[in-house]
Structure 1
Amino acid sequence: MSNLPNVIVVILNWNGCDDTLECLDSVVRVDYANFKIVVIDNGSTDGSMHAIPQRYPEVTFLQAGANFGYAGGNNRGISWALEHGADYILILNNDTIVHPDLINVFVQAANYLPIGSILGAKIYFFHRPDTLWFAGGRWNHRLHAFEHIGQNQLDGADYAHRLEVDYITGCALFSSASTFNEVGLLDENFFLTYEETDWCYRARKMQHRCFVIPEAKLWHKVAASFGGRESPLYSYFLTRNKLLWARKHLPLATRINIHKKSMQTLRHILLPRFYLSSSKLPLPKNLLWSFSSWLKTIKRNMAVPTNCAILLGLRDYYMGRFGNCPDQVRSLGKQSEKLTLSG
C-alpha cells in the first residue's frame, strides 16, 4: 500500500443526498489500495449532513456552510486534499457511478503519459449505459462552441484509443497534486459551468496536456444539479460563462464573433422581426394589427423562463457580475418547473 500513490477523491454535494450516497456506494468499491474520499457539502438542506456521515463514517465530510458553487465547493476539497498529502486528486461529480478499475487505470496512465497530464474518463449516460456522453472535449472553431466527442454514439472501436483533447470535463478530472499546485484552484467567478474548461486551458498554457483514457469508465446522470440542461439555471450560467471564458482564452477576432451571436440571440428575444400582415384591411388598421401581433410575440418570448435567464446572463456578463446567479434566476427555475408540470 505504501508504494502506491495516495489518491484523494473529491465529491461535491448540494442537496443531492440520494445521488451522493449512490455515488459513494460505487466509489468505496473501487479496486485501489490507497485512496481516500472527501465529500464537501455546499450548505445542503436535504438532510445530507446527517445521512452521508451516518452511512459512511470513514469518509471525510466537510461542511462549506453555504452554496459556493461547483468551483468554490470543489476548491475546498482540492485544498483539503493538497493539505493532506495527496499525490493525485480526482474531482468526481456526485451524480456518477464509477467502474471499480477507475483509479487504477488513471494511476497507470499517469505513469506513462507526460508528467502533469490531466486525465479524463470515457463517460456514459446513466440511463443509456452503452451510449457515450463524453469521450473528450474539443473546441469547434466553425461553430465557436465546445462539443463532446462521441456524444450520443454507441461505444465502439472508434473510441477505444487514448485521445488528446482540448479539455476534460469536471465530471471526472484526474491530475497530480503538483499540477494543481502549479495551475492553482478553479476560478470562482464561474461558479457553475466552464470552470473546469478554464482550468484545463490555464494548464495547457503551462504545457500540460489533456487525455481521455478509454479504459477509465463511469456513468453520469447528466445535469442533476441543474434540474436538466434546458433549465433556466443552466442557460444563465452557460450564457454568461461562455463569454467570460472566451475573454480569458480566445483571440479578439473570435471573441467578436461570439459577441455577435450573443447579440443575435438578444435581438431574437427582444426584437423579433416585424411582419406586415397580408390582410386586406386598410393600411392603418393593418399596421395596428401587425404591431399588436409583434408585441404579443415579444411578450410570449419574455414569458419563457429560459429566455429570461439568457437575457440575465448577458446582462450580468456585460455588467461584470460573476460568481453566484441572482435569486431571480432560481425563481425562473421554479417557474419553469410549474410550466412543465402544468403542460
Structure 2
Amino acid sequence: MLSIHVIIVTYNAMKWAERCFTSLRQSSVPLQCIVVDNGSSDGTQDYIKKHFPEVHFIQSGQNLGFGKANNTGIEAAYQKGADFFYLMNQDAWLYEDSIEKLLEIYHDHPHQEEVGIISPVHVDGTEKKLDIFLDKYIAHNWEKTRLISDLYFQTLKPYYEISFVNAAHWLLPKKTIETVGGFNPYFFHYGEDNEYVNRLHFHKKKVILAPGSKVVHDGKQFLDKVDYTRYKDLTLETKIMNPNLPDALKLEKKALIQSIFKNSALGKLSVSKQLMEKYKKISGEADILNKIKAEVSQEGPTFLKI
C-alpha cells in the first residue's frame, strides 16, 4: 500500500483545526499526518494532541517560517518511507476523494517521471467559488491550456499543465523530493513556492492541475494580500537565484541602475533611494545568491537532511 504523508505547518490554527484534521480522517485513501508547529499561542498544540492523537506532532523551538518548517515535516515523512508528500496549509481541508483523484492522475500519466507537482482545484472558504489565486493561475495559462474555454463548454480534460500553483495543496511524488529537494531557507514566509517551482521547471518536471479533484483553501481572497511592511519583497532575489536565468544578477543590477537614474531625473528621489537600497542589498549578497543558485542547479534533495 502506498504511504501518503500529509504535512501541515501550524501557527495559531484553531480557527480551522477541527475541519482540517477531520477531513484527513475522512479521506477515502488512508493518510498519515505530520504537523510542525511554529509556536502557536492559541491552544493549537493541545487541541491536536487531544483530539487527533494519530498525528505525528513536532513542536518547533522557534518560528521557522513556512518553508523551513515544511522541510522538517518532509524529512520526517521521508524517514517514515513516504511515497507521496502532500503539503497542505492549516487553513485548508480535503473532500473525501480529493487525494484519491490526484493519485489516479499520477498513475494514469504516460510520463510519471515528468510529474513534479499535482494540484487539485482550490475553492475558497465559502465553497462556492474558486480560490481567487487559482483564477489568476488559470488566466496566466489561458493560451497554453484553453482551460477557461473547456470550463465554459464543459469539456474538461483529466489534467492540465500549468506554470505555477501555490503551495496550499501540493502532492509531491517521492522522486520530486529526491530531484528538486525542499524549500529554500532564504525565504521565511511568502515567495518560497515561486522559487521552488522555478527549480522544478529547471529539473524538467511539470506542474499539473487536476480538475477532477477539489479541495478548500480558506485564505484571503484578494491578490495583494502580502503585507510587505511585515514580509520582505524578494522578487528580485528570486529571479537572481532562478537557475533558468543564467545572467540574472548582472541583468537585474543593470536594470536597477537604469531605474535609479530615471527616477532621479524625474524627481522621484524616494523611489530612487529605495532602488539604491535594493541595489546595495543584492550586491552585498551576490556571493550568497550565486552559491544558492549553483546549489539548486544540482539534482538532489537540496536543503533537506535525508
TM-score tier, shorter chain, comes to 0.7 to 0.9
Correspondent of 1:63 among 59, 62, 66: 59
For residues 96 and 257 of structure 2, the distance between their equivalents in structure 1, rounded to whole angstroms, comes to 43
Q: How does 1:263-342 map to 2 (within 5 A)?
A: 319-320=284-285
The structural deviation recorded for 1:197 is: 2.4
1:194 aligns with 2:191: yes
For residues 171 and 234 of structure 1, the distance between their equivalents in structure 2, rounded to whole angstroms, comes to 23
**CA deviation vs aligned residue, 1:167-187 (integer Å, no higher than 9, x gap):** 332111112112202211111
**CA deviation vs aligned residue, 1:81-107 (integer Å, no higher than 9, x gap):** 100011111001111122211110111
For residues 213 and 127 of structure 2, the distance between their equivalents in structure 1, rounded to whole angstroms, comes to 17
TM-score, with length taken from structure 1: 0.66
- Give the match for residue 49 of structure 1: 45
- Give SS of 2:209's match: strand
- Give the match for residue 21 of structure 1: 18
For residues 258 and 123 of structure 1, the distance between their equivalents in structure 2, rounded to whole angstroms, comes to 37
**CA deviation vs aligned residue, 1:61-82 (integer Å, no higher than 9, x gap):** 1111211111001001111110
- Give the match for residue 73 of structure 1: 69
| Large movers: runs of 4+ above 6 Å | 138-141, 265-268, 310-315
Letter in 2 for 1:201: N
Q: Give the structure, 1 or 2, with the largest relative contact order (CA under 8 Å, sep 6 or more).
A: 2
- Give the match for residue 146 of structure 1: none
Kept after mapping to 1: 8 A contact 2:256/2:279: no
For residues 249 and 281 of structure 2, the distance between their equivalents in structure 1, rounded to whole angstroms, comes to 21
**CA deviation vs aligned residue, 1:295-318 (integer Å, no higher than 9, x gap):** 9xx7xx9xxxxxx9x998887556
For residues 128 and 235 of structure 1, the distance between their equivalents in structure 2, rounded to whole angstroms, comes to 29
For residues 221 and 258 of structure 1, the distance between their equivalents in structure 2, rounded to whole angstroms, comes to 38
For residues 228 and 47 of structure 1, the distance between their equivalents in structure 2, rounded to whole angstroms, comes to 30
- Give the match for residue 176 of structure 1: 173
- Give SS of 2:128's match: strand
Distance change (3 Å), C-alpha of 1:311 and 1:129: farther
Name the % identity: 19
The structural deviation recorded for 1:127 is: 3.0
Kept after mapping to 2: 8 A contact 1:71/1:191: yes
- Give the match for residue 296 of structure 2: none
- Give the match for residue 292 of structure 2: none
The structural deviation recorded for 1:56 is: 0.7
TM-score, with length taken from structure 2: 0.74
Correspondent of 1:222 among 219, 226, 242: 219
For residues 265 and 52 of structure 2, the distance between their equivalents in structure 1, rounded to whole angstroms, comes to 54
Correspondent of 1:89 among 75, 85, 91: 85
Correspondent of 1:213 among 200, 205, 210: 210
Distance change (3 Å), C-alpha of 1:247 and 1:254: closer
- Give the match for residue 248 of structure 1: 241
For residues 100 and 9 of structure 1, the distance between their equivalents in structure 2, rounded to whole angstroms, comes to 14
For residues 258 and 267 of structure 1, the distance between their equivalents in structure 2, rounded to whole angstroms, comes to 14
For residues 5 and 87 of structure 1, the distance between their equivalents in structure 2, rounded to whole angstroms, comes to 6
Q: How does 1:112-151 map to 2 (within 5 A)?
A: 112-113=108-109, 114-116=111-113, 117=115, 118-127=117-126, 129-133=128-132, 134=134, 137=137
- Give the match for residue 104 of structure 1: 100
Structure showing greater Rg: 1
Letter in 2 for 1:320: E
| Stretch moving more, 102-111 or 11-20 | 11-20
Stretches of structure 1 that go unaligned for 5 or more consecutive residues are: 142-148, 275-293, 302-307, 323-343
Letter in 2 for 1:218: V
- Give the match for residue 326 of structure 1: none
For residues 314 and 19 of structure 1, the distance between their equivalents in structure 2, rounded to whole angstroms, comes to 41
- Give SS of 1:232's match: coil
Distance change (3 Å), C-alpha of 1:105 and 1:50: same
Letter in 2 for 1:129: K
For residues 126 and 253 of structure 2, the distance between their equivalents in structure 1, rounded to whole angstroms, comes to 34
Q: CA RMSD in A?
A: 4.0
The structural deviation recorded for 1:5 is: 1.2
Kept after mapping to 2: 8 A contact 1:38/1:77: yes
- Give SS of 2:182's match: coil
Letter in 2 for 1:232: D
The structural deviation recorded for 1:194 is: 2.4
Distance change (3 Å), C-alpha of 1:157 and 1:12: farther
Letter in 1 for 2:189: L
Correspondent of 2:227 among 223, 229, 232: 232
For residues 138 and 257 of structure 2, the distance between their equivalents in structure 1, rounded to whole angstroms, comes to 21
The structural deviation recorded for 1:251 is: 5.2
Kept after mapping to 2: 8 A contact 1:119/1:168: no
Kept after mapping to 2: 8 A contact 1:72/1:191: yes
